[in-house]
Chain A
Amino acid sequence: MGEVRGRSHTSHLPSPTCSFRESLQTTGPTLKIAVCIKRVPDMDVRFKIAPSGKAVDETGLKFDISDFDGYAVEAALQIKEKANAGEVAVISLGGDVVQETLRKAMSMGVDRAVQLKHDGAPVDSYAIATALAAELKDGGYDLIMFGRMSIDTAHGAVGAMVAELLGLPCVTAISKLEFEGTTAKMRRELEGAYELVECPLPAVVTIDEGIARPRYPSLKGIMAAKKKPLETKPAQLPEQRLALDAMALPAERSAGRIIGEGPAVVPELVRLLKEEAKVL
């Protein structure tokens, strides 16, 4: 690799382009892992606001595991495969539609699933974290994984809050994870820098992109998932003190303008940047 700015390569951890699989150098520990996953719409669309003014119009939307949660599921499966032992459970809080999301995770290889049933779309991260923590508390998990943030409500809060509620150490937005005995060794990306972090297990981690690309379920996986246990329990949500009052689409940018072709238009561009946009 050529010049890579803003990052030294003296560390024992591999560069962020390596896959998670490569970054686990030793045979991993046997862990009981829980991954909290959220069902979100596919973002690759132009959203419309529902008549209530408080939600997106779900007509025609496709739903899947929130992006970072998918990376977390994949990372958890790789840890289990590496040890050839252990267990991966997924938990989702939501209406019955989340059962489809939980089955998808099981078709990727997850062993079992729990739905914390709640209709409606809570936005209060503390309330969500409280309900998840109640379920996780006595689960005997060595590692509890979250996405760095959910891609729809995007507060990036639930993982660290669950850790606080359970009194567990927490490292957020990690892009690398390996183990030395019962110590987790991680890397977090900062703006133009990174940190190497360690903490003892049991622990909570939230997963950034780059750690592992989620696999596609195989046909065999899809068949197997139908027989795996999916438990449904009511979610215990406390009172919510963060409410969603309204949703709106951001103002559209004015339509783009092509000013011309080839290097000959550069002087015109520079004039516009100077006189019209005033950025030069």
Chain B
Amino acid sequence: MSANVLAFAESRSGDLRRAALEAVTAARTIADASGGEVHAVLFGAPGVGKHAAALGAHGADKVLVVEHAGFTHNNPEAVAGTIAARMGSGYRAFVCAASATGKDIAPRVAAKLKVPVASDLIAFEVKGAAIVATHPGYTGKVLQTLSLTATPAVLSVRPGAFLPKENAKAGASEALAPAGDPAASRVKVTETAAGNAAKLDLGEAPVIISGGRGLKEAGNFKLVEDLAAAFGNAAVGATRAVTDDGWRPHADQIGQTGRLVSPDLYVACGISGAIQHLAGMRTSKTIVAINKDKEAPIFKVADYGIVGDALEILPVLTEAVKKAKASG
């Protein structure tokens, strides 16, 4: 078995995703430990190969480019089939990000290779023939140490756990033919509705401003958006109470059944701090809570709490952040 590692270079609608760079960065750690190369595999419509340079800059020795009109939208059957066929030529591991797409691809690839998958890892190390990994389970309340003895190892890494690192390698691209006809897949993605281009994804934003039912009505989310805009590098999140009521889209929900995030700064506005919500954000580096009830559980995890009316405090905070940003 070779010591090379195949990394999934996720793209969407022709754009390279940060998940791709995270997968390459994580793959690099395994390749370095076992003296192998990182090969990044990139799927897309013709033209997608232009991202090879970025992958090389982050540690890909080689970029395998699979260009075909059948990859204009995600095409999980053809992607997994092509990856599994390539893995057959001998790889130590396959690594992808535990994004919506990565989590869809990894188990398909693993099953084709007849191996288990270790998902959503936050750390791992190569120990001889095994890969020993840390995996959060029980809604993030328990950390499991797993040892994966199957080869090749199929892994997905939690978004944000392996920050993309510049680490220039050749990154030379090589065309790879799809295994089978991508147009013949039974599963067909007929539409990918892109989010607002200006919107930072929750998984990628260094700052998240989140609102809960304490904001009283959907219109007051304007205050949350204003604060996010003042930071400039912030995304807006929400509790399930709010997404259930249709104040915010489901995709913005943070928590056990929503997104798991760990930004540098998480500002919780009018959020009680139910455990299902905490499950999605308690690993944030700094947490600020604004709540009018000083007994609210969110204050137990907040580094900085302000007791008071979020509707009053948010505009003042927005102005103060604007000033702080302006003065550098």
A contact set with B: CB distance below 8 Å: 1-2, 4-8, 11, 15-17, 41, 43-44, 46-47, 49, 56, 67, 123-127, 129, 149, 151-161, 163-165, 169-173, 175, 188-200, 209-210, 240-250, 253-263, 265-267, 269-270, 272-274, 277, 279-280
Complex alpha-carbon distance, A56 and B302, angstroms: 27
- Contact assessment for B107 and A17 in the assembled complex, using a CB-CB cutoff below 8 Å: no
Nearest A residue to B233, CB-CB: A279
B contact set with A: CB distance below 8 Å: 12, 73-74, 76-77, 99-101, 103-104, 106-108, 110-112, 114-120, 132, 135-150, 186-196, 199, 201-203, 206-207, 218-219, 236, 243-244, 246, 248-252, 256-259, 264-265, 275-276, 279, 282-283, 285-289, 294, 299-309, 312-313, 316-317, 320-321, 324-325
Q: Which residue of A7, A199, A266 contacts B195 across the interface (Cβ within 8 Å)?
A: A7
For the residues of A in contact with B, the DSSP-based class is: mixed
- Least CB distance from A209 to B in Å reads 4
- Contact assessment for B199 and A258 in the assembled complex, using a CB-CB cutoff below 8 Å: no
- Contact assessment for A173 and B118 in the assembled complex, using a CB-CB cutoff below 8 Å: no
- Contact assessment for A6 and B195 in the assembled complex, using a CB-CB cutoff below 8 Å: yes
- Contact assessment for A242 and B282 in the assembled complex, using a CB-CB cutoff below 8 Å: no
- Contact assessment for A169 and B186 in the assembled complex, using a CB-CB cutoff below 8 Å: yes
Using Cβ atoms and an 8 Å threshold, which residues of chain A touch B107? 125, 155-161, 164
- Contact assessment for B201 and A165 in the assembled complex, using a CB-CB cutoff below 8 Å: no
Using Cβ atoms and an 8 Å threshold, which residues of chain B touch A196? 189-191, 193
Using Cβ atoms and an 8 Å threshold, which residues of chain A touch B251? 6-7, 16, 189-194
Using Cβ atoms and an 8 Å threshold, which residues of chain A touch B115? 126, 241
Complex alpha-carbon distance, A260 and B301, angstroms: 16
- Contact assessment for B199 and A192 in the assembled complex, using a CB-CB cutoff below 8 Å: yes
Using Cβ atoms and an 8 Å threshold, which residues of chain A touch B195? 5-7, 192-193
Using Cβ atoms and an 8 Å threshold, which residues of chain A touch B118? 155, 242
Complex alpha-carbon distance, A149 and B100, angstroms: 12
Nearest A residue to B134, CB-CB: A248
- Least CB distance from A271 to B in Å reads 9
Complex alpha-carbon distance, A274 and B321, angstroms: 10
Using Cβ atoms and an 8 Å threshold, which residues of chain A touch B114? 126
Using Cβ atoms and an 8 Å threshold, which residues of chain B touch A11? 191, 193
- Contact assessment for B299 and A280 in the assembled complex, using a CB-CB cutoff below 8 Å: no
**Residue from A149, A170, A266, A274 whose CB has the most chain B CB atoms within 10 Å:** A266
Complex alpha-carbon distance, A43 and B303, angstroms: 24
A126 with B110, Cβ < 8 A, contacts A16-B250, A196-B190, A243-B146 known: yes
- Contact assessment for A279 and B143 in the assembled complex, using a CB-CB cutoff below 8 Å: no
- Contact assessment for A246 and B145 in the assembled complex, using a CB-CB cutoff below 8 Å: yes
- Contact assessment for A241 and B201 in the assembled complex, using a CB-CB cutoff below 8 Å: no
A191 with B203, Cβ < 8 A, contacts A5-B249, A269-B304 known: yes
